[in-house]
Copies of this chain bind each other. A is one copy, B any other.
């Protein structure tokens, strides 16, 4: 059940350059049913910026009715969001969408979690849940440069963690795809920029792969048709899925990316 809730900010801190970790209290954490779901945030009371911002849930603490998001301060909305402090209130719609299917991999099997930049956060909760199930987890996380790297320590707690940077300033120089070639796995979960998702989908068409997509959104709940993508397994050309309500996570091959 999707809720609209005025949530209290518990804490916010900058964990890498322009990368903020935001922790809020919300009754709807009980409704979160899979890693990779997201929320839709209204960052201002006034009418500019107007639209909500979609941000993934990066970890959930059901006991304390809290959840965490990690986002990059980029444009107008996230800049305003970054200015908020503990105790302030935030109008949040969530949880939204369908997350990563944790049951597609069994205890003892290996899951490869591949994240690019600001696509990394939702993999954290996924890693926690897979590990709890007894799945072996390997993380490959790509960033632009050293100052953008975050959560390496946190991921290391759950499994091997490879970091790549485009400029080689940290970890291995290059792209995540360079690293994952060498790794073996039963199931791959990924979230990040579209070119990365495309490359992975192509490389592993024979494997079990789940991708989390991004698309510009209006409503975030399936009503406005802003975020559609074509399905690839149909013969006609009018079939579609909505990233916000059918996704954001799809099985590789399910939709055209």
A interface list, Cβ under 8 A from B: 44-49, 76, 80
Contacting pair B45 A80 (CB below 8 A): yes
Q: Which residue of chain B is the closest to A77 with respect to CB atoms? A: B46
In the bound assembly, the distance between CA atoms of A45 and B46 in angstroms comes to 10
Chain A interface helix/strand/loop/mixed: loop
| Distance between A192 CB and nearest chain B CB, rounded to angstroms | 30
In the bound assembly, the distance between CA atoms of A149 and B44 in angstroms comes to 33
| Distance between A196 CB and nearest chain B CB, rounded to angstroms | 33
| Distance between A76 CB and nearest chain B CB, rounded to angstroms | 7
Q: How many copies does the complex hold?
A: 2
For the complex with contacts A45-B80, A46-B80, A48-B48, 7 further pairs of A-B residues with Cβ separation under 8 Å are A44-B44, A44-B46, A46-B46, A46-B48, A46-B49, A46-B76, A47-B48
Q: Which residue of chain B is the closest to A45 with respect to CB atoms? A: B80
10 intermolecular pairs with C-beta atoms under 8 Å apart: A44-B44, A44-B46, A45-B80, A46-B46, A46-B48, A46-B49, A46-B76, A46-B80, A47-B48, A48-B48
B residues in contact with A49, CB < 8 Å? 46
| Distance between A83 CB and nearest chain B CB, rounded to angstroms | 8
Q: Which residue of chain B is the closest to A50 with respect to CB atoms? A: B48
Q: Which residue of chain B is the closest to A43 with respect to CB atoms? A: B46
Q: Which residue of chain B is the closest to A44 with respect to CB atoms? A: B46
Q: Which residue of chain B is the closest to A46 with respect to CB atoms? A: B48
In the bound assembly, the distance between CA atoms of A45 and B44 in angstroms comes to 10
Q: Which residue of chain B is the closest to A83 with respect to CB atoms? A: B45
In the bound assembly, the distance between CA atoms of A44 and B49 in angstroms comes to 11
In the bound assembly, the distance between CA atoms of A44 and B44 in angstroms comes to 10
| Distance between A234 CB and nearest chain B CB, rounded to angstroms | 42
| Distance between A87 CB and nearest chain B CB, rounded to angstroms | 11
| Distance between A6 CB and nearest chain B CB, rounded to angstroms | 14
| Distance between A8 CB and nearest chain B CB, rounded to angstroms | 15
B residues in contact with A48, CB < 8 Å? 46-48
B residues in contact with A44, CB < 8 Å? 44, 46
8 A-B pairs closest in CB distance: A48-B48, A47-B48, A46-B48, A44-B46, A46-B46, A46-B49, A46-B80, A46-B76
